[in-house]
Structure 1
Amino acid sequence: MHYALNLRTFFYSHYFYLGLRFAAGLVGVTLITLQFADMAIAMTVCIGALCTALMDMPSPLRHKFNEMSASVLLCGAVTLLISLCAPYHWLLMTMLVVISFGACMMVVYGRKSMPLQLATLFIMTMSMEHSMTARESFIHTGLFTLGAVAYLAYAMGISWILRHRIKQQVLAEALFELAAYIDIKADFYDTRYNLTEQFNKLIRHQSLLADRQQASRDLILRAHNNTKDAIVVQVHVCMLDLYELILSTHTDYAQLRVHLVDSPVLKTLHDLAYKAARDIESVAYDVTRKKASYAEISYEPELDAIEAELGAIQQRISEGKPQQEALAVLRAQRNKVRAIIKMIGELHQASQKVYDTTPFWADADMGPFLSQQKYEFRMILSHLRWDSPIFRFSLRVAMAISAGLLIGAWLPYSAHSYWIVLTIVIILKPSFSMTKQRRRDRIVGTVIGCVITALILKFLSYPAFILGALVLSTVAMPTFVYLRYRYAAVAVSVMILLQMYLLAPGNENLIMERLVDTVVGAVVATAFSFVLANWEYQSLPRLVRGVLDVNLRYMQVSFDLLQGKGKDDFAYRIERKRLMDSLAGLSSALARMLDEPSSKQRAVEDINLFMVQNYLLMAHVAALRAILRRHTKELPAGQLNAMLAESHEQVVEILTHALAPHNAAAREAAGQAGEHALMSASTLSAQDAAAAAAALVPWSGWPLVQRRIRLLQADAVKIIVHSEAILRDVT
């Protein structure tokens, strides 16, 4: 369950705060307007506020102002344009199609532009039903803009007051997702779970975790100027360090299960991971409540049980039983778990300490860690080509809206074309999977909302109760729009139907008409989701190459860090973030592809394995860092760096072959080179092992380092195999 759907944490989440802010702004603007004007004017002002409120998301203050100002200007211009064109049917129909196409092209600016696209299309549909004179159009636009500006001022004021609170809430969400990530890792120790399925589940969740961590970075690292901000910065940095330690706990779980299948220590390891997840959740919960967090969970019983098992294994070895491998694997997991527990303790301490200054890299440029957004018109122009998915999506929406308008005019009953168009706009999304999910949620949510509204109007038709239901639905709509869209669809149906009832209480067919219009719009959107469709498999070569490119850079900075070439790990953190983001993008594409028709699915198993192998490379690097931190005594820097340099050369060669040009001859050559690289890696690992045993100075970390390097090289070679298989299936 999502943390914000739990009553214990729901009322502290930024989703609930957004719902309250949204509802208070809309209701407040409407009530103030009603003191000076009638209901029709108040609703126009309210719709202006609503369009701006759609852009009210957790963002840095400067970004929020720019985004909401863009909504005010763009939606105001669309309102005026549609109002002026309304008396001329042919011109109105033309402008509806043109504006729909232009609004959808804004998707080139990324996820942040999606609410702006929706706001533009929403006000377009709300304005198309009213025929006005030119003077009335300007007055109507002025009232709309008044509401939009009023909400902009209100939202900026509240966001400034709550700027630190919002940082805490977004940081807490990232911590909750990290705890959920550990819960998945815990099940690797449970023999009831299939390891392959668990890996796939882990990689899927990594995509969500990367998104939440990026949202935390964008808010926390852009502006951190006081002691309160210093605390959230330090907790954020500790969270990322803890995530790397969790990555380093990866081991050969199949081997672990084989060696310890009859031992209760597997359950002990599972319980330790489960406790760690609850411990991190306690930090997140305290952060949402603006409190310092203190450790309340004891790990001693489980740690004592592991020590007892290690002693028992050591005893069996002394009796001549071959359990050295089991001892090594369990001891390594014990060390990693202790490091994680220690880091969780530091996470608690980070929330307690009062800092004089922000504890972060001095004078460092945070730009590489933050989402970069450029709103340049040339980006739209660059996508005006047939092979652009966004261009095809824009054409698809324009054609669907044209069809919806024609059907609305043709239907024998009193159809409402604007509601059909609004349904199409809400359902039809850039990807088939998003459209499929939105269609299901929209239809189910509308049906439930219509039933709830009918029951209210039949049995509870009292002004006070209707007003209360209206306010409650207004709070629920933005609260759940990013959590469970189906709940948001229920809320928005109740909200709009009750508003229409208050404006026109005599319309007895109100609910049935909206229900039929929703079904018509859903059918049109479904039909056009197959028109000029852009299937996910078409983007796989680009995404795979992106992962390999970033991984190559990640390996470079990782081995530089391991060899002590840098003064800090700043560059390593940047490339680690980029690799996680690229894997998250590929994982999201795979999840969307699985919702598409089976005939459009390609290389599903190889994509899974490709992501797993790249994930393992990160895990091996994290493990190497942890090993070097634990075994600092008498560390032979010269010999160790020579081994790391040779290993780095091998891995770079392997990944470079995987990045060979995408044609048959190059792939064949890359495959042969990959086999050669595998043999070279194996040979080199054997030579290193022999050299370490015979020539190098004694050091306790040699066996662990050599084992990790062998695993790193072997997993790098497997990346070639799976990347080639993906290319064969999609080309």
Structure 2
Amino acid sequence: MHYALNPRTFFHSHYFHLGLRFGAGLVGVTLIALRFADMATAMTVCIGALCTALMDMPSPLRHKFNEMLASVLLCTAVTLVISLCGPVPWLLMAMLVLVSFLACMMVVYGKKSMPLQLAALFIMTMSMEHVMTARESLIHTGLFLLGGVAYLAYAMAIAWLLRHRIKQQVLAEALFELAAYIDIKADFYDTRHNLTEQFNKLIRHQGQLADRQQASRDLILRSHQNRKDAIVVQIHVCMLDLYELVLSTHTDYALLRTHFADSPVLQTLRALAYKAARDIESVGYAVTRKRPSFPAIGYEAELDALEGHILALRGEIDTGKPKQEALAVLRAQRNKIRAIIRMAGELHVASQNEYEGTPFWVDADMQPFLSQQRYELQLMLSHLRPDSPVFRFALRVALAITTGLVVANTLPYAAHSYWIVLTIVIILKPSFSMTKQRRADRIVGTIIGCVITALILRFLNYTPVIVGLLILSTVATPTFIYLRYRYAAISVSIMILLQMHLMAPGNADLITERLVDTFIGAAVATVFSFVLPNWEYQSLPRLIRQVLAMNLRYMQSSFELLQGKCRNDFRYRIDRKRLMDSLAELSGALGRMLDEPASKRRAAEDINLFIVQNYLLVAHVAALRAILRRHARDIPAEAVNAMLAHSHGRVCRTLARALAQHGAQPGDDIELPAEGPAPGETAVPWTGWPLVQRRIRLLQADADKIIVHSVAIVRDVRT
């Protein structure tokens, strides 16, 4: 279950606060408008506020203002154009198609532009039903602009007042996602769970965790000026360090299961990992409540039991039962879990202290860690070509809307063309998988919403009750729109139907008409999801090249850090973030491809294994860092660096070969190191030597497997 759907955390999440802010703003703007004008005027002002509210998301203040101002200006322009074209049917039709096309082209600017695209299409559909004179169009547009500006001022004032609170909520969400990630890792010790399925689950969750961590970075690292901000910065840094420790816990789980399946030691490890996840959740829980966090979970019983199991297993070595290597792996896991428990304790401490400043990378440029958003016209123009997925999506939506309008005009009953068009623009998404999911949510949500509305109008048809339920559904819509769209579809259906009932009571066919229009819009969207499609396998070569290139950079920066050539891990952190982002993007594409028709799937198993192997390289590097830190005393630097240099050269050249298989070469700033002589087999008298040797062997073996899967992917995708 998503943390925000848990009643314990729901009312403190930024999703619920977004719903409250959204609902209070819309109701407030509408009531103020009603104080000075009639219902029709107030609803126009309300629609202006609604379109602006769609861009009301957690963002740094400057970005938030720019995004919401763009929504106000764009939607006002769309309102004016569509209103002026209303008296001329053929011109209106042409402008609807053009606006739809241009709005969908904005997808080129990434996720942040999706609400802006929806706002533009929404106001387009709302404006197309009204035929007005030029003077009425100008007045209507002015009222719309007034509503948009009013909500913009309100939202910015609230965002400024709650700027620290929003940082806490977004940070808490990242902590809850990290706890869920550890829960998945804990199940690797449970023999009831298939290892392959667990890896797939882990990789899928990796994308969600990367998104939440990036949202936290964007808010927290852009501006931190006071003691309150310093606290969330320190918690954020501890969270990232803890994340690296969790990465380092990857080990040979098959080996542990083979030798210790009958021993309680694996269940003890799982219990410790599970408790660590609850410990991290408790920090997130405290952060959402603006409180310091104090440890409330004890690990002593499990740690003592683990030591007892290890002592008993050491005694069994003499009888030849478990192998020495398996016991060494087990001891390493114990040490890593102890390190995670200590770091969880540091998370609690970070939430308790007040800091004078934020010493974390004081003189460093944070920009590489932050999302970069540039709204340049040239970028959109560069995608005006037939092979661009964005261009094909925009054309697909424009054709679907044209068809929807034609169908609405030929139906025997008074179809509401704006509702059909709205259904089409909500369902049709850039990918087939997203369209498929949105269609199911929209249809199911609309049916449930219509049934609930019918029951309300049948048994609770009292104006105060209806107004109360209308406000409740207004709050619920934005709360769930990014959390569970199906719930949002239910609440928005109730909201619009109750609103229409208040404005025009007595329409007995209100609910039936909306259901029929929804099914028509869904049918049109379904048909056009196969028109000019962009199948996920077409983007796979680019995404795979991106992963390999990022991994090559990551290996360079990580081995420089491991060999002591670089004392600051700033570049290492940047390259790790970029690699994880690229893996999350490839994993998302794979998940979407599996929802597409079977004939459009390519190399699914090899891509999955390719993602896993690249992820394992990151885990091995994190484990090497942990080993070198844990055994830093009396480290034979020359021998260790020679081993690392040999491994570095071999792994980097392996990745470069895989990159060449996909028709690309390392960047000009990447200098492939010489492999160097292989280190001798003579054991070095240092406690960490066998651990480093074993981890490097695993690193090289997993790098070699990348080549195997890369060849298979190239063959299948080309076929």
Match of 1:347 in 2: 347
Q: Equivalents in 1 of 2:178, 2:567: separation in Å?
A: 29
Match of 2:520 in 1: 520
Question: Which structure 1 segments of 5+ residues have no match?
Answer: 668-676
1:723 paired with 2:710, answer yes
Q: Equivalents in 2 of 1:326, 1:99: separation in Å?
A: 64
Q: Equivalents in 1 of 2:242, 2:461: separation in Å?
A: 55
1:433 paired with 2:433, answer yes
Q: Equivalents in 2 of 1:482, 1:547: separation in Å?
A: 27
Check the 8 A contact 2:397/2:428 in 1, yes or no.
yes
Q: Equivalents in 2 of 1:327, 1:458: separation in Å?
A: 69
Check the 8 A contact 1:85/1:92 in 2, yes or no.
yes
Q: CA deviation at 1:316?
A: 2.1
Pairing of 1:495-644 with structure 2 (within 5 A): 495-644=495-644
Q: Equivalents in 2 of 1:323, 1:79: separation in Å?
A: 74
Q: CA deviation at 1:320?
A: 5.8
1:424 paired with 2:411, answer no
Q: Equivalents in 2 of 1:124, 1:313: separation in Å?
A: 71
Match of 1:670 in 2: none
Q: CA deviation at 1:455?
A: 0.9
Match of 2:695 in 1: 708
Pairing of 1:348-497 with structure 2 (within 5 A): 348-497=348-497
Q: Which amino acid aligns with 1:722?
A: H
Q: CA deviation at 1:195?
A: 0.3
- SS of 1:315's partner is helix
Check the 8 A contact 2:661/2:711 in 1, yes or no.
no
Pairing of 1:175-324 with structure 2 (within 5 A): 175-318=175-318, 323-324=323-324
Q: CA deviation at 1:647?
A: 1.0
Match of 1:21 in 2: 21
Check the 8 A contact 1:33/1:42 in 2, yes or no.
yes
Q: Which amino acid aligns with 1:383?
A: H
Q: Equivalents in 2 of 1:271, 1:218: separation in Å?
A: 34
- SS of 2:479's partner is helix
Quick one: structure 1 residues 427 and 652, their matched pair in 2 at CA, closer, same or farther if it must change by over 3 Å? same
Check the 8 A contact 1:233/1:359 in 2, yes or no.
no
Q: Which amino acid aligns with 2:710?
A: S
Moved more, 635-644 or 472-481: 635-644
Quick one: structure 1 residues 508 and 620, their matched pair in 2 at CA, closer, same or farther if it must change by over 3 Å? same
Moved more, 108-117 or 451-460: 451-460
Q: Which amino acid aligns with 2:714?
A: L
Check the 8 A contact 2:642/2:679 in 1, yes or no.
no
- Aligned residues between the structures: 711
Q: CA deviation at 1:506?
A: 2.2
2:679 to 684, 688, 693: 688
RMSD, aligned α-carbons: 1.4
- SS of 1:298's partner is coil
Match of 1:171 in 2: 171
- SS of 1:648's partner is helix
Q: CA deviation at 1:137?
A: 0.4
Q: CA deviation at 1:313?
A: 1.8
Check the 8 A contact 1:316/1:323 in 2, yes or no.
no
Q: Equivalents in 2 of 1:94, 1:623: separation in Å?
A: 60
Q: CA deviation at 1:609?
A: 0.5
Check the 8 A contact 1:313/1:323 in 2, yes or no.
no
Check the 8 A contact 1:227/1:355 in 2, yes or no.
yes
Quick one: structure 1 residues 417 and 253, their matched pair in 2 at CA, closer, same or farther if it must change by over 3 Å? same
Q: Equivalents in 2 of 1:478, 1:362: separation in Å?
A: 37
Deviations 1:290-326 (A, max 9, x none): 0100111111111111111111122223456563123
Check the 8 A contact 2:545/2:662 in 1, yes or no.
no
Match of 1:85 in 2: 85
Q: CA deviation at 1:640?
A: 1.3
Check the 8 A contact 1:168/1:232 in 2, yes or no.
yes
Q: Which amino acid aligns with 2:253?
A: Y
Q: Equivalents in 1 of 2:553, 2:388: separation in Å?
A: 28
Check the 8 A contact 1:179/1:281 in 2, yes or no.
yes
Q: Equivalents in 1 of 2:195, 2:153: separation in Å?
A: 52
Check the 8 A contact 2:4/2:10 in 1, yes or no.
yes
Q: Equivalents in 2 of 1:623, 1:23: separation in Å?
A: 48
Q: Equivalents in 2 of 1:259, 1:662: separation in Å?
A: 40
Q: Which amino acid aligns with 1:699?
A: W
Q: Equivalents in 2 of 1:317, 1:718: separation in Å?
A: 32
Q: CA deviation at 1:636?
A: 1.1
Q: Which amino acid aligns with 1:381?
A: L
Quick one: structure 1 residues 203 and 321, their matched pair in 2 at CA, closer, same or farther if it must change by over 3 Å? closer
Q: Which amino acid aligns with 1:144?
A: F
Moved more, 532-541 or 640-649: 640-649
Q: Which amino acid aligns with 1:690?
A: E
Match of 2:70 in 1: 70
Q: Equivalents in 2 of 1:230, 1:218: separation in Å?
A: 15
Moved more, 258-267 or 112-121: 258-267
Deviations 1:437-482 (A, max 9, x none): 0000001111111111111111111111000000000000000001
Match of 2:668 in 1: none
Q: CA deviation at 1:643?
A: 1.4
Moved more, 119-128 or 634-643: 634-643
Q: Equivalents in 2 of 1:244, 1:320: separation in Å?
A: 35
Q: CA deviation at 1:548?
A: 0.1
Check the 8 A contact 1:688/1:706 in 2, yes or no.
no
Please, what TM-score do these two structures have when normalized by structure 2? 0.97
Deviations 1:252-286 (A, max 9, x none): 00000011111001110111111011111000000
Match of 2:58 in 1: 58
Match of 2:118 in 1: 118
Structure 1 vs Structure 2: percent identity of aligned residues? Answer: 77
Q: Which amino acid aligns with 1:130?
A: H
Q: Equivalents in 2 of 1:662, 1:587: separation in Å?
A: 18
Match of 1:327 in 2: 327
Q: CA deviation at 1:662?
A: 3.6
Q: Equivalents in 1 of 2:516, 2:363: separation in Å?
A: 60
Q: CA deviation at 1:620?
A: 0.4
Moved more, 320-329 or 380-389: 320-329
Q: Which amino acid aligns with 1:539?
A: S
Q: CA deviation at 1:688?
A: 2.9
Q: Which amino acid aligns with 1:8?
A: R
Q: Which amino acid aligns with 2:692?
A: V
Match of 2:669 in 1: none
